[in-house]
Structure 1
Amino acid sequence: MAKYLNALPQLSGDVFLTDGGIETTLIFHDGLELPCFAAFDLLQSPQGKAALRRYFETYAALARKYDVGCILESATWRASSDWGDRLRYSAEQLAEANSQAIALLYEVRQTYETRQTPIVISGCVGPRGDGYSPDAFMTDSEAKTYHLPQITVFRDAGADLVTGITMTHTGEAIGIARGAMAVGMPVVLSFTVETDGKLPSGKPLGEAIEEVDEATGNGPIYYMINCAHPTHFMTTLETGGGWRSRLRGLRANASAKSHAELDEATALDEGHPEELARQYSDVRRLLPNLNVFGGCCGTDQRHVEAICRAVLAA
């Protein structure tokens, strides 16, 4: 049974950490192969499960070191049906993988949670298409139908909430929100933006948040930004409006390169952890409710620890 379903502790405003770039860490630092960038595929073997456990334990231990909260995001960004088909998973096998991903986080929570470090378990829902390009535009009803099976597994497995990560357009975001709301799950939505601060669909970030809120009756408990560097969206935040109060989480890329440049890159751009941490502090001054901090592509525990120190010192 979900522990924090009806009382999510990150809504208190206390600092919460989440993880970094799981796929880039597993590939470039751990030397693992992830077909279709699918971390959940590691659950098929004891060695893969052990690698995932080590990965999440790193961030749970980091949160406990600094006496802050932690949100563990399941390794299921690619674990929806289209991606499962590409990896030759049956519907039953895919559901089991999603359930196992949540169970693994339960094990980590049991070991690392303390009163000062509540550990929240989130079921991660990724885009149906490419995370860098809105190549699978869906209506909200199509998106709800597509994502509902995965969301339902998360509910049944005991996740505390659902997080839609790397959303590229509002139709899919609305559908995920409605799917989660239909089965009684709190939902967070995280948009990605291009170097101009707009979603890959071309919609400004603020308009996207306002559109989803209007369509869902302010259904998401909060919003996040991920898979973009702070320099890509600082101007947008500086000129933004009241929608900024809906942003509570940030998972930035280590690299300032565009999505197109990252797609072409053959080496990992890890950026500079301390510089990224300073940029997080700058972002926090523009977002009054920002309290969930992690990373995305190219980041690892070094970046997240530097970010943690910076926000705690502010």
Structure 2
Amino acid sequence: MRAFQIIVAGQPPALTDLPRPAPGPGELRVAIAACGLNFADLLMIEGKYQDTPAAPFTLGMELAGTVEALGPGVTGPAPGTRVAVFAGQGGLAEAGVFPAERCIPLPENVSFETAAALQIAHGTSHVALGYRAGLKPGETLVVLGAAGGVGLAAVEIGHLMGARVVAVARGADKLAVTQAAGADHLIDADTPDLRAALKGLGGADVVYDAVGGTLGEAGLAALRPGGRFLVVGFASGAQPQVKLNHLLVKNLTVHGLYWGGYLKLAPAVLADSLAQVFAWAAAGAIRPHVSHSLPLDRSAEALELLRGRKATGKVVVTMT
């Protein structure tokens, strides 16, 4: 089988041929149909992600496909079952072995591409907004980096939860994508005074920050008293500077959110959240936006779309 791997740490990933793996105890083998890409894949290539595996390893954190074989002691999902898998690695390959407990049977009307695009972005945004920030109907949600994978998911889920959604993204084309996902107000990220623009809309109850840097600082400054700030990522490469006296005076709360960490912190929350996300997808209430879908042999090009900020929503790699 083919796999897109980091063969030597510090070297660019490459497409390589590997034996088809046999599942061990507690594992099953999946014939992979689609893999969603994430900013974390780029960090893994650079060795900067908090959970970067030891080389050699196959990139691709979230995937969907069909169960091929069960390892010893595994009773299901049965071979032939369509599943989604949050694997952390191994998705950019034609097959892989994964813990059976990570495999979620797919509703019939949810495609492999949708399932591969859905888990991390929509899972992150649902846990952040629903479990961490406690977003309520009628509140104002500001999403920074709103056209990216997790940002666009936050726009969609925030709208579904009844919030007034303010999308901050760079350029008219990206802002149009956020509007189609449910944003009520659009602000260009290059606005000279983002804080003033957000204040002009009445400020924010919740800020969802996947960007960091000066945009994050502006969003934090625009929070109303009692507001909540969600630290989701630092796509800008810089962390916002948080002034603790502002948190004190305005009774603000800062929530860190590392979605994968919930596998150990509170796995039941992750399971319940993903069940809700897939139920929404099956009902047509959420539809992940996939701006690019490329075959496995173009994985390097697919990753460059993320690195160059040329994608909106998700980039998916397919195996056929």
**Would you call these one fold, judging by a TM-score over 0.5?**
no
Greater share of residues in helix: 1
Q: TM-score scaled to structure 1, two decimals?
A: 0.30
Q: TM-score scaled to structure 2, two decimals?
A: 0.30
Greater share of residues in strand: 2
Larger RCO: Structure 1 or Structure 2 (Cα < 8 Å, ≥ 6 residues apart)? 1
